[in-house]
Structure 1
Amino acid sequence: MPGSAAEGEAIVEDSALDLQHWEKEDGTTVIPFFTSLEALQQAVEDEQAFVVMPVRTLFEMTLGETLFLNAKLPTGKEFMPREISLLLGEEGSPLSTQEVLEGGESLILSEVAEPPSQMIDSLTTLFKTIKPVKRAFLCAIKEHADAQPNLLIGIEADGDIEEIIHAAGNVATDTLPGDEPIDICQVRKGEQGISHFITEHIAPFYERRWGGFLRDFKQNRII
């Protein structure tokens, strides 16, 4: 990952490191890390100092931060603080579940344990061709605790998204096994209810890549 440590020092949880933050186009910052040196070299143009450590050590050292695996690359994935805490096993439940109010109705939203891979891959391919789509999410939704949950696709996009929702619905119904119902909604960052749950607790399965990182933002010294 981009950064530096004291020369010859073994990296442990309380090591002093200078880790880079990269700024995304929405103004938020993330700590980038990479699956390999080759992946890092693809993402940077100039010589770049880097440190190597087990991913668990990185997660433990940066709790509360947002990290981005393979930033700037097509295969990148964002890890939000809550997701990292779950991966480290700090919370009892492996899935996030929350009851929210939307339009005066109480709804139960939760993460999807095993997302349907074919549908996700097909939607990702679709969204890559639609520039206004910024991010897309998948969660489960039901009206009460005993109800059978439906899949809910949340789409964050610029401008009118009716045509985007229609296209996504066609792809989802064509590629989802069985006849499970699918709901699709627009996600607006900063709104309460469904939008808040999705943006704060669910990692996007798709995020627009072009222009995604503006610059190396700052160094962050972790003691």
Structure 2
Amino acid sequence: MATVPTSQLQTLLEAARSAANSEGRRQTEEAVFKALLDSTVYAHVPHGPVPPGRIRFVQFVRPDNQQTVLPFFSDRKQAEEASALKVGIVAMSGRRLFELTQGATLMLNPNLDRVALYPPEISALLAGRPLGFFTQEKLQQDETVGACPPTISTETLVLALRALFTREPAVRAGYMVEVHRGANDAEVFLLLVLIVMPESEERLVHLTTLELNSLSPPPDLPVTMTCVTPNEPLLDICHHGIQFYGT
């Protein structure tokens, strides 16, 4: 039984959409994911008879990366508008939907929020673990930064990422650079540069973030990432760091 009112979930979603900065977005996204488990959500099902004890859900292929996703909605109105009366609608708690669809990739409010949840993320939510917050760094071409190999211990981080990427053939290589920028180089962070097939970029950003969020202890510096396709030139900044994955 859902215990979070639809109005509360909608308030959290609106806060996430309008968050003014990354910290505000991180906090509101965590609240949304937590609330989803105990909120009523809506999904599409085919018309027609269903074998006893089973339920079938409608899925679609995303035009941007050709991945098959199962859409679900935070309110019935969105579900009805997306269905165009061609499919049925079922309501259940987010937790129940996640349990029934484990192994599938879900997408929350595909016509509005377009938040993809991959199978490892679903498992983490059901286990009560936060997903973490992902950012992709876009360095301006005319921006001057300092770059060097990591000066902190990265053994735990590298081992975790290597294990993840070994299971993900879309990742061709991974680089790690310590970046210093801002006034007096006061802003310091680790930049991950992933060479990855474009259709798998979103998935790898999500899964890498989940892996980073699971590290104990966490890295001594903030970690951000950017993705480059195998057909693009390697970023110059990579030559100032280390290659920790691939050949």
TM-score interval, normalised by the smaller of the two chains: 0.3 to 0.5
TM-score of the aligned structures, taking structure 2 as reference length: 0.39
Report the structure number with the largest CA radius of gyration.
2
| Greater share of residues in helix | 2
Q: Which has the higher contact order (CA 8 A, sep 6+)?
A: 1
- Greater strand content: 1
